[in-house]
């Protein structure tokens, strides 16, 4: 049997997933996404799971989709298989997820990062969408998610030149949320994940639903959606607990109800 493409480890209410194709700089294969979805589709429904952290190795978060797997494909095969459509399943998971990025996050690796809610990166991380150099273009959401995050001009620059961006520039552009020392990346992401997982799950799920809604609708529709889901949280006992704990000057204990 071949090595699994991912390794997962449950730490209390957090799931840590490590991409595990070191010989290929964690290039994302058909097996990678099949294993991710097999693990995460059921996990997404687990009320005791509060947050997911996805990381790679010191050298590479992921250096792209697996070029060797795609190299000989025909247009007909790509279209028939709707190649990369499985990544939409991953992108639609509701559990909050953080990308913990060291080394290269290129092509599909950068696009995987863009499918996470935010990224924490090391100072030596490198980002880019170099597909243009291979005679193709981004195919895992990069042309849609990157301009929404960093603006059209910088997204066009990265997608059309294929250049690699350093960590400082990625932080300034808003591509990553935090930069830390390389050896603190995973620990910092796990701490953020534990923090998120300690809050009321209905609140974290609906907060990210509301933020994601902004990509789809007008400002007035988005703020209406926000207000309605905000109101709905007053049906939870966690709202009562959170506000009562504040007034009683004690830490809240959320149950997800």
Catalytic residues: 65, 108, 111, 131
User: Which of 189, 64, 180 is CA-nearest to residue 118?
Assistant: 189
Site string for ligand HXC, 21-40 (x = CB under 6 A): ---xx-x-------------
Conformation bin of residue 60: beta by default, left when phi > 0, alpha when psi is -120 to 50: beta
Does position 158 interact with ligand HXC (CB under 6 A)? The reply is no
Piece of the chain touching ligand HXC by CB under 6 A; list 2-10, 31-39, 99-107, 234-242: 99-107
To the nearest 10 degrees (0 to 180), the angle between helices 237-247 and 201-213 is 110
Cα–Cα dist 91/84, whole Å: 11
Does position 104 interact with ligand HXC (CB under 6 A)? The reply is yes
Write down the least CB distance from residue 68 to ligand HXC, Å: 5
When binding is defined by CB under 6 A, the residue of 68, 231, 249, 250 that contacts ligand HXC is 68
Does position 141 interact with ligand HXC (CB under 6 A)? The reply is no
Does position 130 interact with ligand HXC (CB under 6 A)? The reply is yes
Structural tokens at position 218: 């007008």
Which C-beta is closer to ligand HXC: that of 60 or that of 206? Answer: 60
Write down the least CB distance from residue 80 to ligand HXC, Å: 16
When binding is defined by CB under 6 A, the residue of 40, 114, 115, 140 that contacts ligand HXC is 140
> Residue 4: helix, strand or coil by DSSP?
coil
Write down the least CB distance from residue 97 to ligand HXC, Å: 19
Q: Which residues contact 37 (CB under 8 A, 6 or more apart)?
A: 86, 89, 90
Does position 139 interact with ligand HXC (CB under 6 A)? The reply is yes
Does position 238 interact with ligand HXC (CB under 6 A)? The reply is no
Does position 107 interact with ligand HXC (CB under 6 A)? The reply is yes
When binding is defined by CB under 6 A, the residue of 96, 138, 141, 202 that contacts ligand HXC is 138
Cα–Cα dist 98/177, whole Å: 10
Which C-beta is closer to ligand HXC: that of 87 or that of 199? Answer: 87
Q: Percent helix, strand and coil across the chain, each rounded to 5?
A: 50, 15, 35
Does position 106 interact with ligand HXC (CB under 6 A)? The reply is yes
> Residue 127: helix, strand or coil by DSSP?
strand
Cα–Cα dist 127/106, whole Å: 5
Q: What b/e sequence results for 70-104 when a residue is b if at least 16 CB atoms lie within 10 Å of its CB, and e otherwise?
A: beeeeeeeeeeeebbebbeebbebebbbbbbbbbb
Binders of ligand HXC among 36-65, rule CB under 6 A?
63-65
Which C-beta is closer to ligand HXC: that of 96 or that of 108? Answer: 108
Q: Decide: 9 and 16 in contact? Cβ < 8 Å.
A: yes
- Please give the residue ranges that form the binding site for ligand HXC (CB under 6 A): 24-25, 27, 63-68, 104, 106-108, 130-131, 134, 136, 138-140
């Amino acid at each position: 049997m071949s090595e699994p493409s991912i390794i997962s480890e449950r730490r209390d209410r957090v799931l840590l997933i490590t991409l595990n194709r070191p010989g290929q700089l964690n290039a994302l294969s058909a097996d990678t996404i099949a294993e991710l979805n097999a693990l995460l589709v059921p996990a997404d429904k687990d009320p005791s799971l509060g947050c997911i952290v996805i990381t790679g190795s010191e050298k590479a978060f992921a250096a792209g989709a697996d070029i060797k797997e795609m190299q000989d494909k025909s247009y007909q095969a790509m279209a028939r298989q709707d190649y990369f459509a499985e990544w939409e399943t991953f992108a639609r998971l509701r559990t909050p997820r953080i990308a913990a990025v060291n080394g290269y996050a290129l092509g599909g690796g950068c696009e995987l990062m863009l499918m996470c809610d935010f990224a924490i990166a090391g100072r030596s991380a490198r980002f880019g969408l170099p597909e243009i150099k291979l005679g193709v273009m981004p195919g895992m959401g990069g042309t849609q998610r990157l301009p929404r995050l960093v603006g059209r001009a910088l997204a066009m620059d990265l997608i059309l030149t294929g250049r690699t961006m350093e960590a400082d520039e990625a932080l300034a552009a808003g591509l990553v949320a935090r930069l830390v020392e390389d050896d603190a990346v995973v620990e910092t992401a796990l701490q953020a994940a534990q923090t998120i997982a300690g809050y009321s799950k209905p609140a974290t799920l609906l907060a990210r639903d509301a933020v994601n809604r902004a990509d789809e609708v007008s400002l007035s529709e988005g703020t209406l959606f926000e207000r309605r889901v905000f109101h709905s949280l007053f049906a939870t006992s966690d709202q009562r607990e959170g506000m009562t704990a504040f007034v009683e000057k004690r830490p809240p204990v959320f149950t997800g109800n």
